[in-house]
């Protein structure tokens, strides 16, 4: 499962974040037992990466640093809990998908990214 989040582009947050994930939490939704860690890859974009006005002009707002991590080794029909963040600044509250993960090739989204170049 791929998890993507954005952070500020200053200080420690410019280094990759992490996703901590596992199958058990306590009554306060704190991690219990051994949780796995997936390191994030970083990406960002600025005004010059966009195709033109109005996307790169009036009202442009930086997305900051985009973190993307892939949780590997997941088992079908199992509820996983996860949190995202950075060891130096902290993590989000523990979250969980609305239903247990059901893995199927048809459930995997396909993303096609392209960058337009002037001809």
CATH of residue 8's domain is 2.60.40.380
* Residue 117, pLDDT score: 37
Two tokens at 112?
A: 């096609």
Q: Which domain holds residue 83?
A: 2-107
Which pTM value belongs to this model?
A: 0.71
* Residue 43, pLDDT score: 85
Residue reference for tokens 């993303």? 111
* Residue 19, pLDDT score: 92
- 2 or 12, higher pLDDT: 2
Residue reference for tokens 């996983």? 80
Whether 112 is in a domain gets the answer: no
Can you name the residues that pair with 108 across neighbouring β-strands?
none
* Residue 115, pLDDT score: 40
Mean per-residue pLDDT of the chain: 77
Q: With contact defined as beta carbons under 8 Å apart, do 55 and 49 qualify?
A: no
**pLDDT > 80? residue 65:** yes
For the stretch 79-113, pLDDT in tens is: 889 999 888 888 888 988 756 656 554 444 444 44
Write the CA distances from 118 to 47, 51, 53, integer angstroms.
Answer: 15, 9, 14
Question: In percent, how much of the chain has pLDDT > 90?
Answer: 14
Task: Work out how many domains the chain is built from and give that number.
Answer: 1
Whether 94 is in a domain gets the answer: yes
* Residue 40, pLDDT score: 93
Whether 21 is in a domain gets the answer: yes
Question: Collapsing DSSP states into helix, strand and coil, what is residue 55?
Answer: coil
* Residue 89, pLDDT score: 82
State CA 58 to chain mean position distance: 28
Write the CA distances from 39 to 59, 85, 95, 106, 117, integer angstroms.
Answer: 32, 10, 17, 26, 31
């Amino acid at each position: 499962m791929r998890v993507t989040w954005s952070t500020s582009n200053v200080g420690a947050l410019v280094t990759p974040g992490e996703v901590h994930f596992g199958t058990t939490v306590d009554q306060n939704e704190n991690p219990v037992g051994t949780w796995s860690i997936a390191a994030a890859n970083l990406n960002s974009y600025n005004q010059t990466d966009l195709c033109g006005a109005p996307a790169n002009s009036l009202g442009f707002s930086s997305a900051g640093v985009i973190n993307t991590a892939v949780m590997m080794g997941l088992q079908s029909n199992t509820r996983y809990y996860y949190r995202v963040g950075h060891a130096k600044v902290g993590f989000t509250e523990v979250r969980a998908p609305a239903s247990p993960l059901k893995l199927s090739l048809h459930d995997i989204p396909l993303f096609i990214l392209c960058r337009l170049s002037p001809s």
